[in-house]
């Protein structure tokens, strides 16, 4: 039996779902997962409309990005996904997307502060915008991977967002949580100044984040 079958199906299903909920348009965004086979990762292809991607269109790559299985071209952000996996052995899934409110904050180079209890255990104490670099570059990969050392989500300046999780379901939940928090933060900022949680509550969240890791 093909050891990559299920994970390729799940990667394809996740990018189609991101398209359906408006987090990516035709050729935007990318999704990957670490497979159970050592040094093998499954990633979405470039150039194919997101709503059309099937399991057979996904690529199996090794840790340096060589294509092991699949006939399409792997995502231009493959290097970024692989760098995250190498720096975060606890991460098994990565999602990059361009949802509207998270990207609005990324265009402002904002940092989402610890202003909602549910954010800290799952995403981390804050979600900063990492320094701008062109899509597909090693510089962007490095900025994003560095940002994810302390948290499970970052905003990409003038671009979008990246989340990581223990599996694809978990990473997808984190994408939803980030977009929800971004929407609330923007709405609150439109009429005032969102207030961070008291330090005692932030500390509890921090502790939960440390224990859960992801």
Which is closer to Zn ion, CB of 114 or CB of 160? Answer: 160
Strand order of the β-sheet with 67-69 is 67-69, 59-61, 41-43, 30-34, 93-97, 160-165, 153-156, 129-130
Least distance in Å: CB of 53 to Zn ion?
A: 16
Q: Is 77 a catalytic residue?
A: yes
Interface with Zn ion includes 160 (CB under 5 A)?
yes
Which is closer to Zn ion, CB of 18 or CB of 197? Answer: 18
Which is closer to Zn ion, CB of 106 or CB of 214? Answer: 106
User: Candidates 68-76, 117-125, 159-167, 187-195 — which segment interacts with Zn ion by CB under 5 A?
Assistant: 159-167
User: Candidates 3-11, 152-160, 171-179, 193-201 — which segment interacts with Zn ion by CB under 5 A?
Assistant: 152-160
Least distance in Å: CB of 98 to Zn ion?
A: 6
Least distance in Å: CB of 43 to Zn ion?
A: 14
Which is closer to Zn ion, CB of 121 or CB of 160? Answer: 160
Which is closer to Zn ion, CB of 135 or CB of 213? Answer: 135
- Kindly tell me the burial class for residue 51, based on how many C-beta atoms sit within 10 Å of its own C-beta (0-12, 13-18, 19 or more): middle
Least distance in Å: CB of 180 to Zn ion?
A: 20
Q: Which residue is nearest to Zn ion (CB)?
A: 160
3-state DSSP of the chain:
CCCCHHHHHHHHHHHHHHHHCCCCCCCCCEEEEECCCCCCEEECECCCCHHHCCHHHCEEECCCCCEEECCCCECCCHHHHHHHHHHCCCCCEEEEECCHHHHHHHHCCCCECCCCCCHHHHHCCCECEECCCCCCCHHHHHHHHHHCCCCCEEEECCCEEEEEECCHHHHHHHHHHHHHHHHHHHHHHHHCCCCCCCHHHHHHHHHHHHHHCC
User: Candidates 5-13, 17-25, 157-165, 184-192 — which segment interacts with Zn ion by CB under 5 A?
Assistant: 157-165
Interface with Zn ion includes 70 (CB under 5 A)?
no
Least distance in Å: CB of 44 to Zn ion?
A: 12
The residue annotated as part of the active site, out of 9, 10, 28, 77, is 77
Name the residues that contact Zn ion, by CB under 5 A. Answer: 160
Q: Kindly list the catalytic residues.
A: 77
């Amino acid at each position: 039996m093909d050891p990559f079958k299920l994970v390729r199906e799940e990667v394809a299903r996740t990018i189609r779902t991101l398209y359906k909920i408006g987090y990516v348009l035709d050729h935007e965004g990318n999704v990957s997962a670490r497979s159970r086979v050592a040094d093998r990762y499954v990633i979405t292809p470039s150039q194919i409309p997101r709503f059309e991607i099937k399991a057979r269109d996904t690529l199996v790559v090794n840790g340096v990005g060589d294509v092991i299985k699949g006939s399409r071209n792997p995502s231009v952000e493959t290097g970024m996904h692989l760098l995250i996996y190498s720096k975060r052995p606890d991460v098994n899934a990565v999602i990059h997307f361009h949802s509207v409110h998270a990207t609005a904050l990324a265009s402002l180079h904002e940092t989402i502060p610890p202003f909602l209890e549910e954010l800290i255990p799952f995403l981390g104490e804050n979600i900063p915008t990492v320094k701008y670099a062109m899509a597909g570059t090693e510089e962007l990969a490095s900025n994003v991977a560095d940002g994810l050392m302390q948290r499970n989500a970052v905003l990409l300046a003038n671009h979008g967002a990246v989340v990581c999780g223990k599996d694809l379901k978990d990473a997808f939940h984190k994408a939803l949580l980030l977009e929800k928090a971004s929407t609330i933060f923007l709405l609150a900022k439109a009429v005032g100044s969102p207030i961070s949680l008291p330090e005692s509550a932030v500390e509890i969240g921090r502790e939960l984040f440390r224990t859960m890791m992801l």
